């Protein structure tokens, strides 16, 4: 191979490093542009939510903001695995408020999973899926988001298994707490 090829590779590596650094600094703002309809959207919690797993709510977490909200179901294996990912995250960061809002029917399977796993965060049941409908969130392909103190969505996506998003969640939560 000739020297021109190697010079080209070095130049590409230098440019990609520069672009990555610029990307990092504006990541949250750029990322949230993909969610124009949801960015800074105020979330309202429906009155039909009830705590399914009898966990105490830290203060009034539904009114306090600064909370990671996860939505899903309880009667499917992938959702239960997700709850386990959330629990692992909660053990790493015990001071972060996390809630899970489960739509759909309660089943023996969901009762069993809640009982044996003893999740440390509140799992709310939303029988009619009213929370998602009321906040017009069904059109978004993300079911985890961060609320600020005004219950506005400031970040979308899961920090539980995504190290880049985890970094920004923790950064925003540190500023807010």
Q: In what order do the strands lie in the sheet with 50-51?
A: 50-51, 123-126, 97-103, 67-73, 144-147, 153-156
**Average per-residue pLDDT in the chain?**
75
Give residue 59's region: left, alpha or beta (phi > 0; psi -120 to 50). Answer: left
- Work out the average pLDDT over 23-38: 54
pTM, two decimals, is 0.75
What whole-number distance in Å separates Cα of residue 119 and Cα of residue 32? 30
35-176 CATH choice from 3.90.800.10, 3.40.50.150, 3.30.1330.40, 3.40.30.10: 3.40.30.10
Which pLDDT does position 82 carry in this prediction? 87
- Domain range annotation of the chain: 1-33, 35-176
For 176, half-sphere exposure in the C-beta direction (CA atoms, 13 angstrom radius) is: 23
Which pLDDT does position 89 carry in this prediction? 92
CA distances from 20 to 24, 95, 165 (A): 6, 31, 15
For residue 126, which of 58, 56, 46 has the smallest C-alpha distance? 46
Which pLDDT does position 86 carry in this prediction? 92
Whether 11 shows a pLDDT value over 70: the answer reads no
Whether 53 shows a pLDDT value over 90: the answer reads no
Strand-pair partners of 156: 145
Which pLDDT does position 30 carry in this prediction? 56
- Provide the 3-class DSSP secondary structure of residue 112: helix
């Amino acid at each position: 191979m000739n020297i021109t090829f190697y010079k080209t590779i070095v130049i590409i590596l230098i440019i990609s490093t520069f672009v990555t650094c610029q990307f990092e600094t504006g990541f949250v703002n750029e990322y949230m542009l993909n969610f124009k309809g949801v960015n800074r959207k105020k979330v309202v919690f429906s009155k039909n939510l009830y705590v399914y797993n009898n966990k105490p709510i830290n203060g009034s977490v539904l009114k306090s903001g600064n909370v990671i909200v996860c939505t899903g179901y309880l009667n499917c294996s992938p959702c239960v695995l997700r709850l386990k990912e959330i629990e692992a995250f909660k053990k790493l960061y015990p001071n972060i408020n996390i809630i899970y809002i489960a739509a759909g029917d309660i089943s023996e399977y969901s009762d069993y999973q809640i009982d044996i796993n003893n999740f440390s965060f509140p799992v709310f049941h939303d029988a009619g899926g009213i929370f998602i409908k009321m906040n017009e969130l069904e059109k978004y392909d993300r079911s985890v988001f961060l609320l600020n103190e005004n219950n506005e969505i400031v970040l979308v996506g899961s920090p539980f298994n995504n190290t880049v998003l985890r970094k920004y969640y923790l950064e925003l939560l540190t500023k807010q707490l």
